[in-house]
Amino acid sequence: MRWKTKDSFQWINVSGGSPRSNDPFESQLVKKRFACPVGTLAACKWVHFRISGFLMLVAVTGATGFLGQHVVSDLLRKGHSVRGWTRNNDPPRLEGVDWVQGELDDPQSIERLVSGCNAVVHTALARDGDSFMKAPDKPLDYIQTNLMGSISLLETASAQAVERFIFVSSGAVHQNVVDGIPLDEQHPLRPGSLYGACKASMETMVHAYGSSGRLNAATLRPVSIYGVEDPVQDSKWYGLIQSVARGESVRAEGGGKVVHVADVAAAISTLLATDHAIAGETYNCCDRFFSEHEVAERVMAITGARAKILGEPKSSGREMSSAKLESLGFQFGGISKLDETIRQLVREL
């Protein structure tokens, strides 16, 4: 489609093509140039994106973190370019990644990150130490940096007409669940930590921007994320898997709702690519409950180890529904992802 070029119109270049597979992202790169009225640039580009799909430049905050690295890898694998945001002075050199140094309390670096991008994926969190749940030493600074910095990122994305904004929240917004109410996206937010409270607050901001039409923004809400970390000793269940593989006696009484890191990255790509209206929406991202007892049993089945498992298996408690995400065609890895992780960790022992 070619529109007449007048002073009230502007030319834009986008990349489109016909998908080679069911994945809307896997498309031939074809340059297209067309004009749309000034002031409707976001709408024009979005219509084209929805119709054909195209390879994007995606800004990723927290790009060198555990989840962020998998998000970057998944996007690159699908042919996209990435602008990674990092505090690191010497980030990894990856083809297809343009690094921007900055932090959530730096408005100028936010501008540099978002400028010219088609989409933003926000995974970053400024925190004290390695634990997400640890109470910060300076709560007001923590809130100012994480909440106000994230809102600044939202506003910058809105001002620059970014097509999609995906905020990665946390199951910590549901630390205190309400009896008798399904644990789906309509469940009240009841965090029990400052971390959860900041995530819950940001969810409401994403909803406000998305439902008001200011930005095509949505929230993905993963539960505890597992996978092989670097260093490997930081991986969830590492100590348990090590002991069982060695045939030792272990006490396995814990458990929780989990999702594999690769599934979270794939879920983000699903939200970026879907033709469904997602503005202002939230999507739970929970694969299933794994007890430590079940993990230990899987280790023995895979390795042939003869460990003694002590303690009663923990029950799952309240189930979290991810039916809304699955309605977009998304599928979790389930037990196969757990087995894959166990095999990887056993090789590292």
pLDDT reading at 148 higher than 60: yes
DSSP string over 200-223: HHHHHHHHHHHHTTS--EEEEEE-
In tens, the pLDDT along 271-282 reads 999 999 999 999
Domains 9-225+260-285 and 228-258+288-318+333-348 belong to one CATH topology: no
The amino acid at 96: G
Which residues are bridge partners to 59 per DSSP? Answer: 83, 120
- Decide: 63 and 82 in contact? Cβ < 8 Å: yes
pLDDT band of 127, cuts 50, 70, 90: confident
DSSP single-letter state for residue 305: -
pLDDT band of 131, cuts 50, 70, 90: low
CATH number of this structure's domain 9-225+260-285, picked from the four choices 3.40.50.720, 3.40.50.300, 3.40.50.920, 3.30.70.141? 3.40.50.720
In tens, the pLDDT along 47-68 reads 334 333 578 999 999 999 999 9
Mean pLDDT of 286-305: 98
Q: Is the peptide bond before 91 cis (omega within 30 degrees of 0)?
A: no
Class of the CATH-defined domain 228-258+288-318+333-348 = alpha beta
Instruction: Retrieve residue 29's tokens.
Output: 């790169």
Span of 15-24, 122-131, 290-299 with lowest mean pLDDT: 15-24
User: How many other C-beta atoms are found inside a 10 Å radius of the C-beta of residue 16?
Assistant: 17
DSSP string over 110-172: HHHHHTT-SEEEE-----SSS-SSSPPSSHHHHHIIIIIHHHHHHHHHHHTT-SEEEEE--GG
Span of 32-36, 39-43, 56-60, 162-166 with lowest mean pLDDT: 32-36
Q: How many CA atoms lie within 13 A of 83 on its CB side?
A: 19
Q: Where are the domains of the chain?
A: 9-225+260-285, 228-258+288-318+333-348
pLDDT reading at 186 higher than 80: yes
In tens, the pLDDT along 171-182 reads 999 999 999 999
